[in-house]
Amino acid sequence: MKAQQSGGRVERDTLGEMEVPADAYYGASTARAIRNFPISGLRFPRPFIYALGMIKRAAAEVNMELGLLDRRVGQAVVQAAQEVAAGRFDEHFPIDIYQTGSGTSTNTNANEVIANRASEILGAARGSKTVHPNDHVNMCQSSNDVIPTAIHLAARLQIRQVLRPALEELARSLAAKAKAFYPIVKTGRTHLMDATPIRLGQEFEGYAGQVERALHRLAQAEEDLGEVPLGGTAVGTGINAHPEFAARACARISELTGVAIRETTNHFQAQACLDALVFASGALRSYATGLMKIANDIRWMGSGPRAGLAELQLPAVQPGSSIMPGKVNPVIAESVIQVCAQVQGNDLVVALGNQWGFFELNTMMPVMAHNLLASIALLAAASQNFATQCIDGLVATDRGPALVEQGLMLATALAPAIGYDKAAEIAKAAAATGRTIREIARERSGLSEAQLQELLNAEEMTAPGLKGSGGGG
């Protein structure tokens, strides 16, 4: 290391000298990457840096156990890596997401920060390489196995700690409304047209069921993310890594983070492709499409209040117009819909990224990590906000029940007794005259008032069953 120049210090990597800010914990290679990638201002998020720090800590502990790393140096690396995981040095991870496709720049960034901090812990100057970024911090590792392992770990942690609780809260809110709204019978809709009666609570039971099944799909994604490529080093062969390193490091990471990860049984697939990330992103996309449907249904059922469906009253969380006094819009549902659109776009990037695995290495890892972790964070925040600011405050109006008797699809209940064709004739007559199915059926069906009362009971039509003797058609 050369003396400070122009308020900085000069460090050296394999390409030569680079000036580094005096207070920076990163070194020459990171400074070079900052210069190389002035693209977006996007950085790896906190969950990824946490995962990276924990991997480096576990690696140092295992390398000490294996007798590969001097204990004094190793303990300093462990402390520095833990500080990185805790967020102490986040500002020293400045490299853009749009960088080298393997994420080597960020792995090197971590090695330099940890090495410089560890050197400082040992009483040496930053840049002295008393603790070496490659020889000590990166021992038994490569960017090619560390970065995908960090993505898997960060995604699994975020699904478990952030996304899953948010979905569970939304599912509870929807289930609570399903129970509260169960007595309310309204007109069902298919093809955006009137259909047979349904309970409002049954609709919400469907929404809750969508979220519950999304949780099941996430569980499979979590399981797949638990298989990591750590130990494969450069191309999956494990060159320069102790044979026991990966299994021991994975066990230690699991212990430190509270989520189980395991060494892959096939290192060559684990580094050449990132199929598990695509699967996880697909589970997020599936949930996003379902959540968009839920939010849109609720937005439509709350439309009005005079010229729309107006079956639900949504919480009034803010004024809806700068020109129309008293207008209130379904803004929470709209924010959810926008999140869902973004997540589906993110999923496309993840899928495209996985195609760019050439031979032994994927070269789209940073952008795949960014989009996957962004989707997890967005869906978690939107789901929790949807539950607390919209679903929990929904109120059913009397509009839905009031329209049931006017519904033309009540004629469906007549078909088993008088046949499809006769029931269709009654429905068409009711539509043409503006009268109800009950009124026309009294005149044309040949059924008694008691039979009509039984067949046209809207509540009974919301449960499985077949009434009447059956008919033609």
Positions annotated as catalytic residues are: 191, 321
**Are 105 and 37 in contact, with CB atoms under 8 Å apart?**
yes
Give the chain's length: 473
Question: Using alpha carbons only, how large is the chain's radius of gyration in Å?
Answer: 31
Helices 71-85, 46-65: inter-axial angle, 10-degree rounding: 160
Bridge-partner residues for 312, per DSSP? 396
CB burial string 278-308: b at 16+ within 10 A, e below: bbbbebbbbbbebbbebbbbbbbbbeeeeee
**Are 32 and 104 in contact, with CB atoms under 8 Å apart?**
no
Cα-based distances in Å from 336 to 168, 173, 257:
16, 16, 30
Q: How many CA atoms lie within 13 A of 154 on its CB side?
A: 30
φ and ψ at 463, to 5 degrees? -125, 155
Round to the nearest angstrom and report the end-to-end CA distance of the chain.
91
Residue located via tokens 């995962």: 51
Q: Which residues contact 435 (CB under 8 A, 6 or more apart)?
A: 429
Cα-based distances in Å from 111 to 37, 117, 123, 138:
19, 10, 18, 6
- How does strand 312-313 pair with strand 262-263? unpaired
